[in-house]
Structure 1
Amino acid sequence: MWLTKTYNEKFQQEYKIESKLLETKGNKHNIEIFNAQAFGGIALIDETIMFKNFVTLQSEFLAHTAVCSHKEPKKVLVLGSFNLEIAYELLRHLKIKVDFLQFDLKVLQSLISFLPHYQEVLDNPRFTHIPQLENEFIQQNQERNNPYDIILCLESKKNYESYYNLLSEDGIMIIKCPHLLLDTKEAIKTLESLDDSFKVKMPFYMPLFFDMNDCYIFASKKYHPIADIMLQRADMLEDLQYYHANLHLSAFTLPKAIKKSLLGVAKN
């Protein structure tokens, strides 16, 4: 059997699966988990795919690219994701506290045997799961003036202004981006939708990975992901499978044609 993932009306990918292990409908999302020999397992949450054997790679990449670009991050918000492994990687940095915003608890609990550090993350005193709707959470935090140094917003949205207001004065926000080669016009629109007060707005991607969804935008009020990379912090991380300083830097290297098309829109 084959699992087909459609990215747009012109492009789709297929993954070989053996059987369906679980199907659950949550409050807002649906999850299906499949047995897939090449990937260890595949979790399909609405239109988002997670690969059991490779979820660590994606998590390292997102967590450490953000943290190693900020001089002294202390508080991180992860939203729009069920991937607790991102929190696990963030918590490797001992001064960081992680808030994980996810309302759909039924779907999250379905991943208890899929994510390798599920319970370890929940038990960490520096981790807080916030089972709230995003609009409620944003309103409450704006009123409390409780800013984050880093926000990982990992689902596509049309308006990022409310999340910008949750950032500290030197904060970094990483968001999903349409594919830079397959959907360049939509990537440009996403860049244009970001607040003009971001001093840095740079697209980047996950090198040597097969999921076409792994394109992002690094939006920062102060720090530059290349000029300000904390090399000592990046090099001191141990027992990683994917992330390192040179890979961090290479993720922001774009083809010449793409760089030309983003002139005047990206800020670097």
Structure 2
Amino acid sequence: MKEFIYSEMMVHVPMCTSKNPQNVLIISDNANVLAREILKHSDDISTKAVECSLDAVRDLDDSSVDVIICEMSSDSVLLAHLSRILKEDGQLSIKHPSLDEVEANKTMMKILGNYFKVIMPYNISNGSTALLASKEYHPTADINLHRADMLDNNQFYNCDVHIASFAMGNYIRKEYLGIIKN
């Protein structure tokens, strides 16, 4: 997979779903590429990066960020902390097991369902997916089209790709019926 596709999709999908992202948290052991993508939105956005460790996440303030981009393996403790850190209308983009790992994903999505109104897998490319979990906004109904179309220097992401990335085949829809919250 081309690295620019992954980084653009992990960052711009939640950023263009968020109403007015001002504070962004990246949880990654290699946050530089993701942070560069965030800068495409504005120099005024506060971006903080922490390494993939529960201790680093545990120390963050409640309701302090609008968007979290997380590359850390998740469990119920991490997901509870991510919800705590996000503002009441926050967006989370998180890596997860392949959609073919149904039971692991159902477990993760059920936990996220305790904290988020919307939980939807989306395609990054070449069969890789991430999850968008949102406390308020729907990623296809509430996309900020102006922000999505005005981003400069993207090689892959645009507003059409954003919406299309949420299209899933019937076998996935059936497998996750009642788990995906959209």
- 1:179 matched to 2:98? The reply is yes
SS at match of 1:151: strand
What is the distance in 2 between the residues matched to 1:203 and 1:57?
A: 16
Residue 140 of structure 1 and its aligned partner are, at CA, apart by: 3.0
Residue 96 of structure 1 and its aligned partner are, at CA, apart by: 1.5
Structure 1 letter corresponding to 2:103: K
Alpha-carbon displacement from aligned partner over 1:97-147 (angstroms, at most 9, x marks no partner): 1101127xxxxxxxxxxxxxxxxxxxxxxxxxxxxx541x334324xx451
What is the distance in 2 between the residues matched to 1:146 and 1:218?
A: 18
Q: Which residue of 2 aligns with 1:108?
A: none
- 1:100 matched to 2:19? The reply is no
Q: Which residue of 1 aligns with 2:148?
A: 234
Q: Which residue of 1 aligns with 2:165?
A: 251
Question: Which has more radius of gyration?
Answer: 1
SS at match of 1:215: strand
Q: 1:80 to 1:195 in 2, by over 3 A?
A: farther
- 1:71 matched to 2:32? The reply is no
Residue 215 of structure 1 and its aligned partner are, at CA, apart by: 1.5
Alpha-carbon displacement from aligned partner over 1:233-253 (angstroms, at most 9, x marks no partner): 111112211101111111110
Residue 59 of structure 1 and its aligned partner are, at CA, apart by: 1.0
Higher helix share: 2
| C-alpha contact (below 8 Å) 2:70/2:93 kept by paired residues | yes
What is the distance in 2 between the residues matched to 1:261 and 1:102?
A: 33
Q: Which segments of 5 or more consecutive residues in structure 2 lack a partner in the other structure?
A: none
Q: Which residue of 1 aligns with 2:72?
A: 155
TM-score by length of 2: 0.90
What is the distance in 2 between the residues matched to 1:102 and 1:138?
A: 8
Residue 195 of structure 1 and its aligned partner are, at CA, apart by: 4.4
SS at match of 1:266: coil
Q: Which residue of 2 aligns with 1:109?
A: none
After TM superposition, the structure 1 = structure 2 runs for residues 1-268 of structure 1, keeping only pairs within 5 Å, are 54-94=2-42, 95-102=44-51, 133-135=53-55, 137-142=56-61, 145=62, 147-159=64-76, 160-180=79-99, 182-207=100-125, 209=126, 214-268=128-182
Q: Which runs of 4+ in 1 moved over 2 A?
A: 137-142
How big is the alpha-carbon RMSD for the aligned residues of Structure 1 and Structure 2?
Answer: 1.8
TM-score by length of 1: 0.63
Q: Which segments of 5 or more consecutive residues in structure 1 lack a partner in the other structure?
A: 1-50, 104-132
Structure 1 letter corresponding to 2:75: K
SS at match of 2:36: helix
Equivalenced residues, count: 179
| C-alpha contact (below 8 Å) 1:205/1:215 kept by paired residues | yes
What is the distance in 2 between the residues matched to 1:140 and 1:83?
A: 18
Residue 205 of structure 1 and its aligned partner are, at CA, apart by: 1.6
Structure 1 letter corresponding to 2:158: H
% same residue: 31
Q: 1:177 to 1:83 in 2, by over 3 A?
A: same
Residue 80 of structure 1 and its aligned partner are, at CA, apart by: 2.9
Structure 1 letter corresponding to 2:172: I
